[in-house]
Amino acid sequence: MTTMRISWLLPLLLVAAAAWPTLAFSDYHLFQLTMVVVYGIAILGLAILTGFNGQISLGHGAFYAIGAYTTAILMTTWDVPYWATLPVSAVVCAAVGFLIGLPALRLGGLYLALTTFALAVAIPQILKHKLIDTWTGGVQGLVIDKPEAPFGLPLSPDQWLWLFTFVVGVVLYGLAWNLVHGRIGRAMMAIRDHALAAEAMGINIAMLKTRTFAVSALYTGVAGSLGAIAIQFVAPDSFSVFVSITLFVGLVAGGAASIGGTIVGALFIEFVPNLADKVSKAAPGAVYGVLLIAMLFLMPQGAGGFFAQQWRRVTRRLGPAEQPAAVTDETARVTPMHLREKAGK
């Protein structure tokens, strides 16, 4: 009965989570929530790679940019519908992620982090290059039209885009949950925790690492596509290395190995900069840094780890008390003299 109730309750909660902001929030606040889901998907891709597989990446802003530009080019050059660009972006970013994952097999730790960081530094310059600026728009970038609600639905573009992004996010989060909690997810975490032991158990480390890189890039690329549609504009300078650093900050703030924590990380990178700007117009960066340090000091495992720890404490307190071990004839006869007799035998 409990399982049946949960199976009915979860869809109802998801419908309420999508419908309530649509009816109650302004278009601006819906745009902010849309970007929270976008950042959440991007951080989720990074969490799959770094949190669950142990491969540190400081260059996921590059995959975000590739996904955004794939959607922008398809929509502006070939008039591809916005929704049809998402699977194309997913395939393109997965392929690029797989190729990046191949040299990553020979690297690890800080060396891999620096390699991916170099990719993030290079991507804006690549997008400006004259060989492809007819597609990318060069320095000027590309402008995208925000999609209208289909079937004559009485929704504004921001309302429709929020609902569309929310549905995509639910699907991707559900797939990530199944991935992490399945056989492949256990193999990923085995590589993260002890690669030699994982290899001894028969896990193909090279194949799994490259595929994890591909899946991670796929998620972040789809997020880039959704972000481009929401913002309606892409330009090389919009995807500086700061994007990669921001995504990594969201990962750490939410908890590296926490699926739910990625939403907290997305909320952090979307709203905390605005809060810092309101607190101090002169030095918003300093306020942002102080808030980040305070959060990491109070929750060193990230928000996801902190909430999981508190939940375990609550369930232990509310759960049934442990019953003392039953006394049997055998245990009743155990005395110090009996133990000495056993030891003498």
Exposed (0-12), middle (13-18) or buried (19+): which is 343, by Cβ within 10 Å?
exposed
The residue-averaged pLDDT of 12-39 equals: 94
Q: φ, ψ for residue 233 (rounded to 5)? A: -160, 140
**Would you state the pLDDT for residue 5?**
58
**Would you state the pLDDT for residue 144?**
95
Q: φ, ψ for residue 142 (rounded to 5)? A: -130, 145
Q: What is the pTM of this model?
A: 0.89
Per residue in 244-275, pLDDT (tens digit) is 999 999 999 999 999 999 999 999 999 999 88
Cα–Cα distance for residue pair 39/21, rounded to 1 Å? 18
Domain ranges of the chain: 12-242
311-317-320-323 Cα dihedral, nearest 10 degrees: 120
